[in-house]
């Protein structure tokens, strides 16, 4: 599995650039999705045997492959001029790499790819203003054992035999406020459109989008909340 993984990463790097044809990149993504299935089948076998070391190694591969998959998606979205989706794909790729570090495997390799992603961020995207939404939460279950999150010993964001622990299925989730922040938990939450002199512009392209009739308040369009969809379980 390890050799297969390393070979895949080596071969794919040629596709992980802007100029490669999108159809070819989509094919590579399909291939990666299949490979992820194999990784997860192996991981489940290791979990059943309670072989934590193997399960965590496979988790590392799962994260790395997912990061490359997101990076490829970013290139495709950029070429389609779907810039919000491209940004979200890059943020997800970075998140996957942060998670990969938790497995304690090949940390230098992960850091190198993270560095590459950071460079792309700085070259491709503008500086963003981030938003963060405050919410009130009650209840929830543990993603590791399925029990009430308050009544088990698992701790969020820790890696347990190849899976990350999260509080899921809240009993109550109520949004209370929205704030502009420097460092949000989710860097995917950004201002997408802004207003200047009663005109709305796109944050990515700076293109004029429309006039606004809103006299009293400033109009902006934000991505306030993204549902956690990372494949880390």
CB of 152 vs Zn ion, minimal distance in Å: 3
80 token code pair: 């389609």
Answer yes or no whether residue 136 interacts with other proteins by CB under 8 A. Answer: yes
| Alpha-carbon dihedral 96, 97, 101, 105, rounded to 10 degrees | 100
Among the residue ranges 4-12, 39-47, 58-66, 147-155, the one whose residues contact other proteins (CB under 8 A)? 147-155
Answer yes or no whether residue 152 interacts with Zn ion by CB under 5 A. Answer: yes
- Out of 12, 29, 72, 114, the only residue in the binding site for other proteins (CB under 8 A) is 114
Q: Which does 50 bind (CB under 5 to 8 A by kind): Zn ion, other proteins, none?
A: none
Among the residue ranges 34-42, 89-97, 117-125, 135-143, the one whose residues contact Zn ion (CB under 5 A)? 135-143
Site for other proteins in 156-175 (CB under 8 A): 156-158, 167, 172
Answer yes or no whether residue 138 interacts with other proteins by CB under 8 A. Answer: yes
Q: Which residue from 128, 133, 132, 150 is spatially nearest to 141, judged by alpha carbons?
A: 150
DSSP-derived letter for residue 227 is -
6 token code pair: 């390393």
With contact defined as beta carbons under 8 Å apart, do 95 and 230 qualify? yes
| Alpha-carbon dihedral 89, 25, 78, 118, rounded to 10 degrees | 50
Q: Which is nearer to other proteins, 33 or 179 (CB)?
A: 179
Site for other proteins in 196-225 (CB under 8 A): 225
With contact defined as beta carbons under 8 Å apart, do 72 and 15 qualify? yes
Among the residue ranges 25-33, 92-100, 147-155, 222-230, the one whose residues contact Zn ion (CB under 5 A)? 147-155
With contact defined as beta carbons under 8 Å apart, do 48 and 60 qualify? no
Answer yes or no whether residue 161 interacts with Zn ion by CB under 5 A. Answer: no
With contact defined as beta carbons under 8 Å apart, do 200 and 194 qualify? yes
Q: Which is nearer to other proteins, 1 or 168 (CB)?
A: 168
Q: Which does 137 bind (CB under 5 to 8 A by kind): Zn ion, other proteins, none?
A: other proteins
Among the residue ranges 77-85, 122-130, 150-158, 194-202, the one whose residues contact Zn ion (CB under 5 A)? 150-158
Answer yes or no whether residue 147 interacts with other proteins by CB under 8 A. Answer: no
Q: How far apart are CA 27 and CA 29, in angstroms?
A: 5
Q: How far apart are CA 115 and CA 94, in angstroms?
A: 9
Answer yes or no whether residue 98 interacts with other proteins by CB under 8 A. Answer: yes
């Amino acid at each position: 599995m390890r050799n297969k993984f390393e070979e895949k990463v080596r071969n794919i790097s040629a596709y992980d650039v802007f100029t490669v044809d999108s159809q070819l990149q989509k094919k590579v993504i399909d291939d990666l999705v299949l490979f992820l299935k194999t990784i997860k089948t192996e991981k489940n076998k290791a979990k059943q045997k309670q072989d934590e070391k193997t399960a965590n190694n496979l988790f590392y591969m799962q994260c790395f492959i997912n990061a490359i998959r997101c990076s490829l998606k970013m290139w495709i979205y950029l070429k389609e001029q779907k810039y919000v989706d491209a940004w979200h794909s890059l943020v997800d790729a970075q998140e996957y790499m942060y998670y990969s570090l938790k497995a304690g495997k090949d940390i230098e390799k992960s850091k190198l790819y993270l560095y590459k992603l950071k460079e792309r961020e700085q070259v491709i995207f503008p500086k963003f203003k981030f938003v963060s939404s405050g919410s009130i939460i009650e209840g929830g279950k543990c993603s590791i054992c399925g029990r009430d999150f308050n009544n088990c010993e698992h701790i969020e964001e820790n890696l347990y035999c190849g899976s990350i622990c999260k509080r899921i299925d809240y009993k109550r989730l109520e949004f209370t406020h929205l704030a502009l922040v420097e460092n949000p938990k989710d860097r995917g939450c950004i201002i997408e459109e802004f207003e200047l002199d009663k005109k709305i512009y796109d944050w990515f392209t700076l293109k004029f989008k429309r006039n606004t009739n809103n006299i009293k308040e400033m109009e902006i369009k934000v991505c306030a909340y993204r549902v956690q969809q990372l494949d880390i379980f």
